[in-house]
A and B are shown apart, each in its own frame.
Chain A
Amino acid sequence: MYCRACGVKIGCRAERCPLCKGELSYTPVPTDRYIPPAHLTEEVAFKKGTIKKRRTDVIAQAYFVFFVVTTCMLILINIYTNPKQLWSMIYMVVAGYIYYCIRYTVIAQSNFHARIFGQAIVNTVVILLLWRLYSGPGQNNWILITWLPITYFLSELLIGIYALLNFKEARKKMISLLILCIFGVIPVVTAYVADVSVKWPAIAASAFSGVVIVVTLIVGRNHLVDELKRFFHV
C-alpha cells in the first residue's frame, strides 16, 4: 500500500495513512493494471494495544480528593462549634491512614516485607497520634494496650515467616526485620510512659522482638556485615 500524498510505502496493515490520515492506494503511481488488495496480506506489525485507564490510580486519587475535602470541612465545622475539643483531628488521622493503606500497601509495587515494614511504622505513628488526641496519660488506653503490641508482634511474625518461606532470599529481608525489631522496644516504652493498666501485652511483644533479633543474628550471622555494607554503601 502507498500514500501518494506523503510519497511513502505503508509496511503494515492499515486502513489509512499513519502520517496524513489520507486514503491509501495499491500503487505508488496511478495505473490501469489490476492489483490484488494488499491489505489482506500485509502483516500486522503491532498488537492492538488495550490501553488501561489505571483504575487503581484513579481510586487512590479520588480517595485523596475526598479525604482532603472532608477533612477541611470537618475541621471548619469543628472550629466553629467546639474549638476546645479537636475531634476532627481523629478523623484526619484515620482517613489519612486509609489513604496510606490504599496507595502504599494495596497498589504499591514494593516487596512484601517492605510493605509490612511500612505498615508497622505508619501504624506506630497513627497509634501515638490517636493516643495523644484521644486520651491523656494514666487513663485506660486500649490502643496502647492492644493495638501497638499486636502491630509489632504481627509484622515481625509475617516478615519472619515470609523470610523462612523464601529462605534462599532471606538475607534480603534481614535488615528490615532487624530495624523493625529494634523499634520493637516502642510498645514497652510507651506502656510505661503512659502508665497503662495492663502491661503484659507490651512486655510480651517487646520480648518477642528480642527473640527475633537473637534468632536473626544467629541464622544470618554470615550475611549481616555484607548486608549492612550494601545498605549503607556510598
Chain B
Amino acid sequence: MSTATETIESFVKQGYKWGFVTDIESESAPPGLNEEIVRFISHKKQEPEWMLDWRLKAYRHWLTMTEPTWPNVHYPKIDFQASIYYSAPKKKGDGPKSLDEVDPKLLETYEKLGIPLNERARLAGVAVDAVFDSVSVGTTFKDKLAEKGVIFCSFSEAVREHPELVRKYLGSVVPYTDNYYATLNSAVFSDGSFCYIPKGVRCPMELSTYFRINAANTGQFERTLIIAEEGAYVSYLEGCTAPMRDENQLHAAVVELVALDNAEIKYSTVQNWYPGDENGRGGIYNFVTKRGICKGRKSKISWTQVETGSAITWKYPSCILQGDDSVGEFYSVALTNNCQQADTGTKMIHIGKNTRSTIISKGISAGKGQNSYRGLVKVMKGATHARNFTQCDSLLIGDKCGAHTFPYIEVKNPSARVEHEATTSKIGDDQIFYCNQRGLSKQDAVNMIVNGFCKEVFRELPMEFAVEAQKLLGVSLEGSVG
C-alpha cells in the first residue's frame, strides 16, 4: 500500500459535532418490554381504545417473530429487555400549548443543532416538527398551514384530533405484521409526524421533522404518515442526530406515504445519527421501514436520502406503483466510514400499467466501512410497459473498506424494460496528487471528488439542504491531514 493511501485513510477519522447531551429532567418507563409497557405508552398519550388494541395486536405478533439475519451487517444480539421504550422531557404543568411555553433548554438544543423553533428565528419557508426522544416538542407554522387545510402535527396529536384519517391509513402501507422492526415499532411507537395535504393543494412550504435522541439507553420508535390527496403536492424533509454514547441505541422507525391520483410526495432524509467512534464503539442502530404507495393514477413518490450517520443502517425506502402511469424514484447517498455498516437500497414494485421507476444509488466507503446496495425491481403481470432504470455506483476511499451490490430483478410482464448499470471506482493516489499539485489539500481533494460523485443525488434535495448535505459529507470524512 502506498503512503498516499495511508494518508487518505488517516483523515477518514470522524469529528461528530452533534454529540452533546441536553441536561433535562425526563420521565421514562422502566427498561424492558411487555404488555404493561405497551399499555403505559398508550396511556401516557391518552390514546383511544382502538389505538391500544392495534398496538397490542402488533406486540403479540412481534413475540412470534425472529430478527432478520439476511442483511449484510454484523452486530452482537440486541437485548430488547435492556432498552427503555418511553422517555419524554418532564412537562411543567399540562405541557406546552404553544412553542412559547416549551422548555427553554429544549429550544436551546434545537438552536444548537441549527433548527431554531422560536417564532422570531425559525427557518423561513420551512415548517418544523421537533421530536425529542419519544415526543414531539413543537411544530412551527401550524396556523399558516391550516389556512390551506394542510394538517401538520405530531402523530400523538393526530391520533387525538384526526382519528378518522389515522385509522384509515395507519398500517395501510406498512402493516403491523410487515417485519420484525416495523412490528416492534407498531407496538411501542411514541411519536412522529403526521401530514395531510387536501385535494388540489400544493403545500406552501417545505415540511420538516427533526429527530433528536437524547436520553441514554432509550430506543426511538417514531412513525410518520403522509397523505397527499388527489392533485396535492408536498415536499418533506427529515433530519436526525444523537449524542455520542458508548452503548448502541436502537432507532426503529416506520414511514408510510400515500399518494392519490396525480399527487406527488417528495421525501428527503439527511440522516446523521451518531455513527460510533473509530473503533466501532457506540452509535445508533438504524433499522427503518419506509414505504410509499402510489395509489392513484399518475401519482409520484420520490425518496432522496443522504445517509452519513448510524453504526448500522438497514433501510429500503420503497414504492408500490399501483396506479397506472405512476412514478417512483429513489436517490441515495450512503457513506460508511470507520466501522460503520450500511445495507440500504430500495424496492420498486410495479403493479399498474406504464409505471416508471428510477434508482440512483451512490455508496461511499471509507476507513473500514462496509456499504451494501440491495435493491428489488419487481414487475407484476399487469404492469404492461413498465420501465425501470437503475444506476448503482460505489466509491472506495482507501483499501480496507468494502462495497457490495445485491440487485434482485423479477419481471412477470414481457413488455417491461429494466436496465441496471453499476460501477465501482476508487479515489486514486494519482487523483489526490494531481489536486495537491494544484494547491488543494488532501481533505479538499477528497471532498471535491466525493461531492462530484454525489452530484446527481444532491440535485434532488431542496436547495438549502443540498448545501447542508455537502457540508455534512465533508465533516463525516474529516480528520487529521497527513
Q: Is this pair of chains taken from one and the same complex?
A: no
Q: Interface of A with B (CB < 8 Å)?
A: none
